[in-house]
Structure formats: C-alpha cells, structure tokens
Homo-oligomer: A and B are copies of this chain.
Amino acid sequence: MTKRNENTTDASLRSRAEKVLPGGVYGHMNMKKLPSGYPQFMETGDGARITDVDGNEYIDFMCGWGPIVLGRQFEKVDESARAVFAKGDIFNGPGVEMVELAELMCETIPHADWALFGKNGTDATTACVTTARAATGRNTILIAVDAYHGAIPWCTPRLSGVTPEDRAHQVRFVFNDVESLKAAVAEAGDDFAAIIIAPVHQPLGLTQEYATAEFAQAARQLCDDNGALLILDEVRVGFRIDLKGSWDQFGVQPDLAAWSKAIANGYPLSAVTGTERLRESATSIYVTGSFWYSASSMAAAIATITQLRDTDALEQMRRVGTLLCAGLSAQAAKHGIDAQVSGPVQMPLLLFGGPGGVKLGELFAQFCIDNGVYLHPTHNWFVSAAHSESDIEKSLTVTDAAFASLNAAIERQDAMAAV
C-alpha cells in the first residue's frame, strides 16, 4: 500500500482542500480524526471495492456510510438512472417515476399509505416531526439520548450556531429503557406529540443496540395511549434488514417513517411514509426543494427496492454479515483481546474494552486500512449484497493479523511499563 505521506495525491489534495473547504472537508467525511492511514479522497469503486486517489484498493465496509446496499456500479440501478438522464431529469413537474415509486413503497411497507420524497435524511426526519406537530396540535418530541436524526439546528449533534429555541420542545429518554421512556412521556404531558427513534441505537463510539421487542412495543403503546405518534427513523437502517420496516419483526409499525441512504443505492433521495390518518397533515405542511422532483433518483430507487424485494440480497447481507461478525468475535477470543462486536450483523461495530480501548481501536483500524480493508474505529460499518463470502474470508485474514499486531503492541507497552 502507498502510505499517506507528503508525496501522495491524497496529501496534495488535502493541502488544496485546506485552502478552499472549511476544515479541509466538512461533516462526517472529514478524515482528520481517523488514523493517518485513511485516504481523504476517493477515485472509483466497483462492487464491494473502492479505490482511493493514489490507486490503493480496499474491501469496503463503509458503503459510502450507508447508501451503497447492492454494491457500487450495480448495473440494473445505474441503467434505470441513465435512462432518465437520457430524456432529461428535471422538468416543471415530476415524472411518472414519482408515482411508481410511491406505489412501490406503499405496496412494500405495511404502514405506508402515502410517500413523499426529499434529498437528505434530515429532510425526511424534519418533515416527520413537522407532520406530527401539525397532526396532533402538540409540540413536544421525545428523542433518545445520543441519537442522531440529522444535521440542522433542531437535531445536529454540535451546538455551534444553534439557539436554545432550536431545541425547544424536546424531551430525552434512554434507548431500550421503558421506565425512562415512561418518565419522558410524563414530562411531555399534554404536549406529547411524537417519539422519534431509530430502530437500532447507533451512537458514535458506543455499543450498538437493537431495540428490544418489549421496548418497541412499549413505545407503540405509549403513543397510542396518549394520542401521540411514533416516528421511526429508518434513514440508516432501512433497506438493509427488513423491507417491511425494522420493527415489523416485533409486530410494531410506526405512524411515520423517515428513509434515505440505501433507498436508491447511492443516488440522492430520501422519503417519508405515513398512515392514512396523517395524509391530511402531511398535505398541510410545506416542504419542497429544487431537486426533489428529479426522476433519476426515483428510477434508481425503484430498481433498488425491486432488486432487494425479488432477490436474496437481504439474505446475502445477513449471511456475509454473520460470517464477518462471528469471525471477528472468534479472533478476539483466540487472541485474548477484550473486543466486542455489536449491532445488527449487516451494520456491525467492533469496539475494544478497557481504558486503552479507543487507542487499540485506532491501531486495529489503521492496520486494516493499511492492508486493504476499509472499516471504521467508532462508527458502525455497513455490509452490502455485493460482499461475497470470499471478500469476508480475505478481510478476516487481515483482521486476524490486526489482532495479532495489537497483542504485539500491548506486549511492547507492558514491557515499556515494566522498565
């Protein structure tokens, strides 16, 4: 592998970026907090593999931080989008694709009686909250501690430039803690409009938690008992585990759901789905955007969802995700290293325990990136249907060596401490 140093294309681009982009690169794709082996700029991708601007190839377990679910350059999806681009993409009204996609989502997702489309996950979560307030005539929204629901003032995780009023009418609860949720409902009182919650709790750098059936059912019941609405934020998890919704397995359907990321295998799109009784409220709010009616992303979404529905793509993600997670757990045990895999197998995270855990996670990630496996030390990973058993096998060979290198590092540290 070409190491990141001053002679790489990546280093040269970072230096140019530093002059013309805030912080070099802004937002979640700024690599400054990651080990130095991580490339900032990428060049190309195919299937489960990506290549950086210096020509280094990686087996990719981030999938563009979620959007890639069938693999990169997935022909059926790209062909659908190309067909739209070839006739023009943005007109003075939507194309037939908007109707077809809404119909497909209403057929596929049990609670969905209607759908509307935006560009960002934040567009969708914000429209859900606004619709819930319009429908209930109440303002208070219940949100889990450490949950991520987007990056505008009401929800962005960093408070610079945010006013106290931007965060008004929010009550926090602890994910998977029914008593805490009940206390939040009591605090909201008569103003309880909605719970917004992700099906899986994936706080940065912390253990991932799938909601328990008990908790999901309690959330549904508390909403029903209090005339409030359940908003499921499927932006990160949606289209990876269950097309019927990530809480369908618990018999729980939300009133509103926000979707994005994997919905169109990388083409920019988000969606809100809702039940019949919220149709009028969704119609009463005003949400729109200059590019919200583009047909290309909707055509890509139709192709993506159809592929996920009609093939074993979801099963393939479960299969290779299980192999990956089982392999990592076995390796940690074999090397005697305190490390746990958490989260659904399709979007796992490996965290190291103990006071040196963060540092070990960085060393592990650095070893992997230097050896052609792109994973992340603190954010959950993403598996796609393009990941083969052979990709997992190759990756596990690298992670095995990474664990071994950690033991060597720990021994060196112990030796240093003993001197």
**A contact residues vs B (CB 8 Å cutoff):** 13, 16-17, 19-23, 25-29, 31, 39-46, 50, 52-53, 60, 62, 64-68, 72-73, 78, 81-82, 85, 87-96, 98-99, 102-103, 105-106, 113-116, 118-123, 126, 129-134, 139, 151-154, 156-158, 160-163, 165-166, 168-169, 235, 260-261, 266-268, 270, 274, 279, 281-294, 297, 374
Give the contacting residue for A29; candidates B16, B29, B94; CB below 8 A: B94
Given A91-B50, A119-B268, A139-B163, CB of A16 within 8 Å of CB of B99: yes
**B286 near A17: Cβ-Cβ < 8 Å:** no
> When chains A and B are docked, how far (Å) is the Cα of A19 from the Cα of B99?
9
A-B CB proximity, top 3 nearest = A27-B288, A42-B91, A134-B161
Given A21-B114, A120-B289, A282-B26, CB of A85 within 8 Å of CB of B78: yes
**A20 near B290: Cβ-Cβ < 8 Å:** no
Given A22-B282, A162-B130, A287-B27, CB of A91 within 8 Å of CB of B120: no
Give the contacting residue for A102; candidates B17, B23, B31, B121; CB below 8 A: B17
Instruction: Give, as a whole number of angstroms, the nearest-CB distance from A235 to chain B.
Output: 8
> When chains A and B are docked, how far (Å) is the Cα of A284 from the Cα of B29?
15
A and B contact pairs by CB, cutoff 8 A, 25 listed: A16-B103, A17-B99, A19-B106, A20-B106, A21-B99, A21-B102, A27-B286, A29-B94, A40-B94, A42-B91, A42-B92, A43-B95, A45-B87, A45-B88, A62-B92, A82-B85, A88-B266, A90-B266, A120-B289, A130-B162, A151-B286, A156-B285, A160-B285, A165-B169, A270-B290
**B50 near A92: Cβ-Cβ < 8 Å:** yes
Given A31-B93, A64-B92, CB of A43 within 8 Å of CB of B285: no
**A279 near B99: Cβ-Cβ < 8 Å:** no
> When chains A and B are docked, how far (Å) is the Cα of A24 from the Cα of B242?
28
> When chains A and B are docked, how far (Å) is the Cα of A60 from the Cα of B93?
12
Q: Could you say which residues of chain B place their CB within 8 Å of the CB of A152? A: 126, 152, 287
Instruction: Give, as a whole number of angstroms, the nearest-CB distance from A398 to chain B.
Output: 17
Q: Could you say which residues of chain B place their CB within 8 Å of the CB of A28? A: 288
Instruction: Give, as a whole number of angstroms, the nearest-CB distance from A104 to chain B.
Output: 9
> When chains A and B are docked, how far (Å) is the Cα of A156 from the Cα of B168?
18
Which residue of B is nearest A119, CB measured?
B119
**B94 near A20: Cβ-Cβ < 8 Å:** no
**A42 near B93: Cβ-Cβ < 8 Å:** yes
> When chains A and B are docked, how far (Å) is the Cα of A122 from the Cα of B20?
22
**A21 near B65: Cβ-Cβ < 8 Å:** no
Instruction: Give, as a whole number of angstroms, the nearest-CB distance from A163 to chain B.
Output: 5
Given A93-B31, A288-B151, CB of A46 within 8 Å of CB of B88: yes
Instruction: Give, as a whole number of angstroms, the nearest-CB distance from A214 to chain B.
Output: 31
**Known A22-B282, A134-B160, A165-B168; 10 more pairs at CB < 8 Å:** A26-B116, A27-B287, A29-B288, A40-B93, A43-B91, A64-B92, A121-B289, A151-B288, A165-B169, A235-B290
Q: Could you say which residues of chain B place their CB within 8 Å of the CB of A85? A: 78, 81-82
> When chains A and B are docked, how far (Å) is the Cα of A157 from the Cα of B284?
12
> When chains A and B are docked, how far (Å) is the Cα of A17 from the Cα of B98?
8
Q: Could you say which residues of chain B place their CB within 8 Å of the CB of A13? A: 96, 99
Instruction: Give, as a whole number of angstroms, the nearest-CB distance from A283 to chain B.
Output: 4
**B96 near A53: Cβ-Cβ < 8 Å:** yes
Q: Could you say which residues of chain B place their CB within 8 Å of the CB of A96? A: 13, 41, 43, 53
Which residue of B is nearest A121, CB measured?
B290
Q: Could you say which residues of chain B place their CB within 8 Å of the CB of A261? A: 290
Which residue of B is nearest A24, CB measured?
B283
Given A116-B21, A120-B123, A283-B22, CB of A165 within 8 Å of CB of B165: yes
Residue among A67, A134, A166, A294 with the highest chain B CB neighbour number at 10 A: A166
